[in-house]
Structure 1
């Protein structure tokens, strides 16, 4: 069963912009479902900006967001056809495409979202300065079903640590619960990723302040030697309150994935609308400035993993041959 619907928009869009009219006739309204994640995390925030930018660019395109448990629920929902689009972190997407622990997925990339350098955040007054200082401590690794714990697993494995054995691993029911748990001492640290990530922002804005812990240069080298799909990334200085220096880390790109049978003409129309609205999307959410056609091509493990309808648009603008 698929979610995309096309309905007559005459009544819904009466008096709306002229974009809803073509030759004096109402343009059919296209409704597309979008799976995000649990409230308080980065995906719902991105989803809100994505929906608003798409609606502003084309009022006959309706993106219907849906809170889910995150990447690991979005993938099977997309495969089952109960979602049209879904936000998926880089590591679950990589495992799905490569068939790690499962059959390779037929899902396609609709767009890159943003780069996601991973790191820990602790209270500014905590004694923890390195990743190994956190060994044996309770650490919140993110929401159940999200991609964050998987990124942490790869990063820690690269430096010889086991997420379950070397830490008291805590998994959240809601992504937004993490900062409060660090602030009141229930956990020593919170793992997260990305620029503008809500959990990092909440910690940075807390009364006592926060400090970030990322792999050091030698650890980044060890991690990349074992897990080469993770890429060096930088959190620029000033990305969060009181962060006065750039932070080097590593991570991957998160994606908007599409169900494999999303019609090519719908994917083409969505892609043309999205990339025509890149400036508006970036103005609504700073980290969404990375959602560009160029980044989608660069971030895709293979160009053939991009949806054919999206590739049609990319070929039209001369981005791919």
Structure 2
């Protein structure tokens, strides 16, 4: 690759970006971190609507349809956060279906980084839906004897457009991350402090137009990520708003797969984050199907929050992906 991928930075950069921008259909959120008291803490967050038709999220095609309208919306929000305290390094969170996140196992351990990339691209070739030569790929070796990698892939035309667009607004994109990965970064220390060593847990990210189910084993090894509620066919872009029954139809086989195919017996918790307040039975539904205690992701428990920041539960849920992105790999 001719330039260092932001997805690679997500895995490698130790310095938190400090400013997170989360884009989703019809809305954006910004989270700003402060290090005045040492450890990064959330000191300001904003959620604002986006103009219609300025974005069309897709894995295969450039997403930004109206750069002027989107740029004006972002600049307006940045003014509300005080110009981001002069921050120019920005982390970007995008809908899960813009990227392909998967765990890839290899028959043998690669001998170099370039060989790893080649082998992962070969394994992903049939499932991607586009030429792997047009892919930005990032990977992280997972614990264990068998070579297995948490792999993130985005189309060059998609991630490149965001980079160039935000550069014109004066921001360096130090990090591009799918929303569920950003949220799992927030969740990881919470799970480690609450659950027993070797425990498994599920995380369900319930967005307005799609949901993602992730399984983490032994507290730190992601082994399953499924993004659902998408159009049948190419899986590119969200379908109509899904119902509680739609969610249930997908959750039931996932729970069965964990118990029967993966022989799971150490499931201790189901965590979730929901932007669908209309799904009033969500917690009970998850608890019943997975047969494990269930609780929402609590942003205040997951990271430091400034004492003077007023943030109700709905706002915390809306900005949590931006906050996780702002923390970066320091989460």
Regarding TM over 0.5, the answer is: no
Q: Which has the larger radius of gyration?
A: 1
What TM-score, normalized by structure 2, do the two folds share?
0.30
Greater RCO (Cα-Cα under 8 Å, separation 6 or more): 2
